[in-house]
Structure 1
Amino acid sequence: MSQRDNEPRSPASAAHRPSLWLTVLSLIAFVVLMALGVWQVERRAWKLALIDRVEQRVHAPAQPLPSRTSWPTISAANDEYRHVDVSGRFLHDRETLVQAVTEEGPGYWVLTPLQRDDGTTVLINRGFVPSERRDPSTRQGGNPDGRVVVAGLLRVTEPKGGFLRDNVPQHNRWYSRDVAAIAAARDLQNVAPFFIDADAGSQSAGGPIGGLTVIRFPNNHLIYALTWFALAFMLAGRLFVTFRGGLFRRQRFVHEPAGGPDASARRTGSDAGTIVEPT
């Protein structure tokens, strides 16, 4: 047996060598973090395309309301915020007030059924009124009679209620613009499965304030992507440092005679003549 075989392994090398399971879990975590970053990049591309489509719909000239035969196929992805116009007569005695908070302050959206010549009905969000004008008698002058033409943005129904607040039709408390529930509560027939947010040009003097539709799509995907990628590269850097200090760390063995000039300073035992120097 040679003297090299009798030499003990460096405790520093063993301390820096990671376990197999820790290595595997770290590699899995790295892959997951990179996948999350790529996913956020893809989500950002999708969101930018969505914003572009909505901008085109909002600023396009108003088009006639989709035909009744196409109503079952209308969806948020393909139709929401489409600029449309519709004509008919308001049924002011069946309006519904939905709680709202706008740039004008807290109050209500006024949803009024518009009866069309073909017998169908479309809910029109005529706009906002403050709480002191909740009573219809305070705005009778702003309720037009006869035939009207309304232009605005097509919106999909908002079923069930608002955030943590359910609609209570029996008590006439509404927190979202749920078309089906409002139609049932107001005994409306042949109602379109969407509603129209009237624009500012469709409002009448003394009536609700129109044109307050908020179009906002949060787009933080780039920040999320950079965060995931940063975490992945930090983990990769930690793995590199760990492996470089352990598994990939070479050692140079230097043997000095026991009687050498530095023997008294280096002597720690029977193997005092052998030192380990990492390179």
Structure 2
Amino acid sequence: MPLLTSRPSLAMKICVGLSLVILLGLGTWQMDRLFWKQGLIDQRHAQAELPPIPVPVDTAVDPDMAFRAAFAEGRYLNDQEKYLMARTRRGNVGFQLITPLEQEDGRIILVNRGWVPTDYRDPKTRPESLIEEPVHVTGVLRLPKTKHWAQPENDALANQWFYVDVDHMAEDSGAELASRYYLELDETEVPGGLPIGGQAKVELPNNHLEYAITWYSLALSLIVIFVFYHRRPVENKEDNSNGNAA
């Protein structure tokens, strides 16, 4: 009795074809994201490893300066600390401490000094962090942030900030900005151990290759299933009916 292979219907072909296009498109998109993310990581590393420059003042913000190694000098306005809320470190919840750094002309540069556990929000619990003398601090330049749709509004009265709004923070401090960049400090040891610097994310998660492999693997699996399903032997019903008649 001769056996035939099944033929896919037009609807099946269209469904499989569209699914294949979508899966291959998602895989290609993830490859594009992979190269974009790796370029971004390389750029951040390169910027952070350059010799530090003074924080630029009286200049427009240049996006290419993000994560550029920089330094600043001045006096901390400890009574104007700002608390950047809901920041974690190694699974522990806390905040990042932003303190205005006063320049000789009275203007300020905002400095993200690093992470502090929630229990140490009250400055009295970390007196060593209230440095009075002039400081020289190093880190990387960061650009002003805009509010993400999922972030709460900043609350200056409660001193709860969820994104870095340099203009609003300067206004709340009663001082004029010297720079619209802010400086995020490195891991240089500080008195008392708090805040913990080095919170800038120079290294970013880059799992796009795994995602791309997943989508391409699903596309390949779909092709294999489609081919094997329609190459499986099926009984010739016409011959079978003739044989029964005989």
Distance in 2 between the 1:133 and 1:23 partners? Answer: 63
1:167-186 matched pairs, under 5 angstroms: 167-186=154-173
Amino acid at match of 1:172: N
Distance in 1 between the 2:154 and 2:192 partners? Answer: 28
Contact 1:161 1:175 in 2 (8 A): no
Could you tell me which residue of structure 1 aligns to residue 65 of structure 2? 79
For the pair 1:211 / 2:207, whether they are aligned, the reply is: no
1:49-88 matched pairs, under 5 angstroms: 49-71=39-61, 74-75=62-63, 78-88=64-74
Distance in 1 between the 2:197 and 2:53 partners? Answer: 17
Match among 116, 121, 136 for residue 134 of structure 1? 121
- In structure 2, relative to structure 1, the CA distance for the partners of 1:105 and 1:36 (3 Å cut) is closer
Segment of structure 1 superposing worse, 175-184 or 153-162: 153-162
Distance in 1 between the 2:244 and 2:149 partners? Answer: 76
Indicate the SS of the match to 1:170: coil
Could you tell me which residue of structure 2 aligns to residue 106 of structure 1? 93
Match among 114, 123, 136 for residue 149 of structure 1? 136
Contact 2:84 2:163 in 1 (8 A): yes
Cα deviation per residue 1:159-201 (whole Å; 9 max; x = unaligned)?
4379654432232222333323322332332353332112233
- In structure 2, relative to structure 1, the CA distance for the partners of 1:104 and 1:34 (3 Å cut) is closer
Cα deviation per residue 1:130-166 (whole Å; 9 max; x = unaligned)?
3443222344443333432211122233443796544
- In structure 2, relative to structure 1, the CA distance for the partners of 1:69 and 1:118 (3 Å cut) is farther
Indicate the SS of the match to 1:176: coil
Indicate the SS of the match to 2:192: coil
Amino acid at match of 1:268: N
Identity of aligned residues (%): 31
What's the Cα RMSD here? 3.4
Q: TM-score, normalised by structure 1?
A: 0.72
Gaps of 5+ in 2: none
Amino acid at match of 2:21: V
- In structure 2, relative to structure 1, the CA distance for the partners of 1:228 and 1:207 (3 Å cut) is closer
Higher RCO (CA 8 Å, separation ≥ 6 residues):
2
- In structure 2, relative to structure 1, the CA distance for the partners of 1:240 and 1:104 (3 Å cut) is closer
Could you tell me which residue of structure 1 aligns to residue 37 of structure 2? 47
Deviation at 1:234, TM superposition (A): 1.6
Deviation at 1:23, TM superposition (A): 0.9
Gaps of 5+ in 1: 1-9, 255-265, 273-279
Contact 2:49 2:69 in 1 (8 A): yes
Q: TM-score, normalised by structure 2?
A: 0.80
Could you tell me which residue of structure 2 aligns to residue 258 of structure 1? none
Contact 2:97 2:195 in 1 (8 A): no
Cα deviation per residue 1:66-117 (whole Å; 9 max; x = unaligned)?
342232xx22xx2332210112222222111223322494333221111223
Could you tell me which residue of structure 2 aligns to residue 277 of structure 1? none
Question: How many residues are paired up?
Answer: 241
Segment of structure 1 superposing worse, 136-145 or 117-126: 136-145
Please say which structure displays the higher CA radius of gyration: 1
Could you tell me which residue of structure 2 aligns to residue 20 of structure 1? 10
For the pair 1:96 / 2:86, whether they are aligned, the reply is: no
Distance in 2 between the 1:130 and 1:122 partners? Answer: 24
Distance in 2 between the 1:128 and 1:242 partners? Answer: 57
